[in-house]
Structure 1
Amino acid sequence: MVSVSQQASQDSSTGEEFVQTDPFDPLDVSWLHPSAIGQGTMRAIQLREGLKLEILDVPLGYEHSAAEPETLCDGLEFHFHIQGHHEDGLTRVGDHEFGIYGSGLHPKHCLYSPEQQSLEIWLYVQAEVLRSILADESGELPGGIAHWVGSEDERRYARVGKVTPPMERVLWEIVRCPWQGIPKRLFLEGKALELLGFMVEWEQSIQGQETVQKLPTGIRERLHYARELLLQNLHEPLTLAELARRSQLNECTLKQGFKQEFGMTVFDYLLDYRLEQAREMLERGAMQVAEVMTAVGLKNRSYFAAAFRQKFGQNPKQYQQQFWHFQAKS
């Protein structure tokens, strides 16, 4: 996906070969074939001091595992996965997920990624840049995100969430940015700040949810069992009454508790799961759209197309064609 100029240079500190991706921007460079990841590119764009984007595009990755020492991280990192998985000692981030990492100590760990194709966007923000953008007159960060900035002896904050359709739209706009030079830098900085805005909004909403009183352990166990029953019956979904009976909950507790525990109503969760399964099947390319729809337990093609478009921003057929077009270009 990332086009690079032909003028290659050598990084004297690492010995790796890199090229200037944008001939009008010396702060936009790509490392070719990162040996620790697989065959592909890592594009780094320094937007300004303390604000950087990186695009990892590895169409031919392989299983990778490496021991990493304890590290003091003085900046914040936001990892957005369009495709790809990794484990880093604090989180496991998969397809269509993002990871938030605050400043502070990253513990000794084993960095692992399976054999896979990867397309990821990483946003790096120094703590002082975050404060310059978001702090109030007294220099304090807004409630709900102040914990992103940790002390030197404090384990860094980390959390994983789902990439939403609006986030994914911005990620693809970054990957496909057609401009060079100053217009490109202005465009990408705007998109970087848009991603940061999504992260602030998501984190504040999560922190707000966690102030709600937690459910008793027994109720939570039954709700998780209800979720298992729900997903085991994709083609013939249980009614709320049957789901409540089999999980030994009353309907009111099931409805209210399920939304508190999983963030959605019972049937919104079922639809979301079906759509995620459909997305994965479309990406594998072995089935037609109608076959995918049937495989995830849906029967109305118009409804399937509308729900898929609302979640992923494209019709199922368009998504499949775009995905395989991306694979072919890679």
Structure 2
Amino acid sequence: MTINLSSLDFWDLLENYTLAENPQSFNDENTEITMLYPPLLGEGYKQHIWLNSGIKLTIHSYQLNQDLIIDNSNEETDCIEFAFKLKSDCQINNHYFNFNKYSYIIGKHRQGAIVKYQGNSVNKGVDIHLDMNKFSDFLENSYEQNFPPCLKSILSQEQKNFSLSYPLKFSSAIELVIKQIINCPYQGLIKNIYLEGKSLELIALYFDLLTKCDRPYFSQTSSFNSSDVEAIYQAKEIIEKNFDNPPTLSDLAQQVRLSNRKLEQGFHQVFNTTVFGYLRQYRLKIAGELLREKKTNISLISSLVGYSSHSAFTKAFQKQFGVTPKIYQLLS
């Protein structure tokens, strides 16, 4: 059996059951609320903690009796959500995720997001909700080349559709901070300061993870599911391993079990370039590394990265880096 609820009905159900169990739960002076899951849905809780900085921290620990679908079509929020899942099994629109130590971001526009949680599965983790206005100054000062493109897309004020970053396996450092938040030993003001610091530490660690392993975001209209994206990244790895003698587009598509068209579309969405464009960029990146080492002459480097024509290599390199290979090597 599957239970279907709107997001409003879901929260009303948890609130009414929590009030029945503990009438003082929603006192105006409370900065923490622990919402209980009614037996109809399962058992466990969602604990909301409002910190002095304006961060809302949510700690999850629950298990559902049966499948639960929550429709967020009418949900409005000015917050972005950083989700850190120790355990979770769900489907968000057409994207299936069996989360085990994964993290992702949901943009502020939730309209169109349908979330299905699997019954009899354990859900445990931490979510950090940030007001978009508090992020605006940071965004204005961080649109540099090293800032992850998918994060720009999700956090942009121009993003009007539901958007979800690609879930990334998180490190033991992130797992440790999550467990420190869940098992916070303090109370009162010290607890607030401690949790605020840990929340910001989690965000910092997540940003570091993104810069090392940038992945795309999924929009409401995306035609790519998680297995398609994995195939696209597999194609990327094949290109990088064989950049000096790459397979044809058809051969590459066949290796990763995608059509030529879907492979090209995927590279546009994930890497904002064509398959050939990615190959060219990677070849020139390797060329730049070899030039900085100053151990190999330019003609040989041209050949090593797959260019049969020295003039074609020079032209492509100058277009990419703004200077000729010779000048680049002298300046390195």
TM-score (normalised: structure 2): 0.53
Give the letter aligned to residue 66 of structure 2.
Answer: E
- CA drift of 1:152 comes to 6.2
- Indicate the RMSD between aligned Cα atoms, in angstroms: 3.7
Give the letter aligned to residue 107 of structure 1.
Answer: G
Structure-to-structure mapping, 1:1-330, within 5 angstroms? 14-17=15-18, 26-34=30-38, 37-48=41-52, 50-58=54-62, 60-70=63-73, 71-89=75-93, 91-93=95-97, 94-132=99-137, 134-135=138-139, 141=143, 143-144=147-148, 145-150=151-156, 151=158, 153-207=160-214, 214=236, 215=239, 216=249, 218-219=251-252, 222=255
In 1, Cα distance between the equivalents of 2:90 and 2:215? 28
User: Residue 115 of structure 1: SS of its match in structure 2?
Assistant: coil
- CA drift of 1:154 comes to 2.8
Indicate how the Cα distance of structure 1 residues 217 and 31 shifts in structure 2: closer, same or farther if over 3 A, else same. Answer: farther
User: Residue 197 of structure 1: SS of its match in structure 2?
Assistant: helix
Indicate how the Cα distance of structure 1 residues 220 and 121 shifts in structure 2: closer, same or farther if over 3 A, else same. Answer: farther
- CA drift of 1:204 comes to 2.7
Give the letter aligned to residue 81 of structure 2.
Answer: E
TM-score (normalised: structure 1): 0.53
Indicate how the Cα distance of structure 1 residues 169 and 155 shifts in structure 2: closer, same or farther if over 3 A, else same. Answer: same
1:245 matched residue in structure 2: none
Indicate how the Cα distance of structure 1 residues 30 and 223 shifts in structure 2: closer, same or farther if over 3 A, else same. Answer: same
Is the CA contact 1:86–1:114 (under 8 Å) kept in the aligned structure 2?
no
- CA drift of 1:35 comes to 5.2
Is the CA contact 2:165–2:215 (under 8 Å) kept in the aligned structure 1?
no
Is the CA contact 1:131–1:140 (under 8 Å) kept in the aligned structure 2?
no
Identity of aligned residues (%): 17
Indicate how the Cα distance of structure 1 residues 82 and 207 shifts in structure 2: closer, same or farther if over 3 A, else same. Answer: closer
- CA drift of 1:184 comes to 0.5
Is the CA contact 2:166–2:215 (under 8 Å) kept in the aligned structure 1?
no
- CA drift of 1:160 comes to 0.8
User: Residue 131 of structure 1: SS of its match in structure 2?
Assistant: helix
Give the letter aligned to residue 97 of structure 1.
Answer: Y
- CA drift of 1:37 comes to 4.4
Deviations 1:96-146, CA, capped at 9 Å, x for gaps: 1122212224425252323112212111112112235x345xx56553232
- CA drift of 1:219 comes to 3.6
Indicate how the Cα distance of structure 1 residues 170 and 110 shifts in structure 2: closer, same or farther if over 3 A, else same. Answer: closer
In 2, Cα distance between the equivalents of 1:14 and 1:204? 39
User: Residue 177 of structure 1: SS of its match in structure 2?
Assistant: coil
Is the CA contact 1:105–1:153 (under 8 Å) kept in the aligned structure 2?
no
Give the letter aligned to residue 109 of structure 1.
Answer: I
- CA drift of 1:36 comes to 6.5
Give the letter aligned to residue 126 of structure 2.
Answer: I
In 2, Cα distance between the equivalents of 1:99 and 1:118? 15
Is the CA contact 1:101–1:158 (under 8 Å) kept in the aligned structure 2?
yes
In 1, Cα distance between the equivalents of 2:188 and 2:34? 15
Gaps of 5+ in 2: 1-11, 217-231, 240-248, 258-281, 283-332
In 1, Cα distance between the equivalents of 2:190 and 2:68? 39
- CA drift of 1:51 comes to 1.2
Is the CA contact 1:91–1:158 (under 8 Å) kept in the aligned structure 2?
no
Give the letter aligned to residue 166 of structure 1.
Answer: A
In 2, Cα distance between the equivalents of 1:101 and 1:153? 12
- CA drift of 1:200 comes to 1.6
Total equivalences in the alignment = 209
In 2, Cα distance between the equivalents of 1:72 and 1:90? 21
In 1, Cα distance between the equivalents of 2:13 and 2:115? 27
- CA drift of 1:206 comes to 3.2
Larger Rg: 2
In 1, Cα distance between the equivalents of 2:194 and 2:43? 28
Give the letter aligned to residue 66 of structure 1.
Answer: I
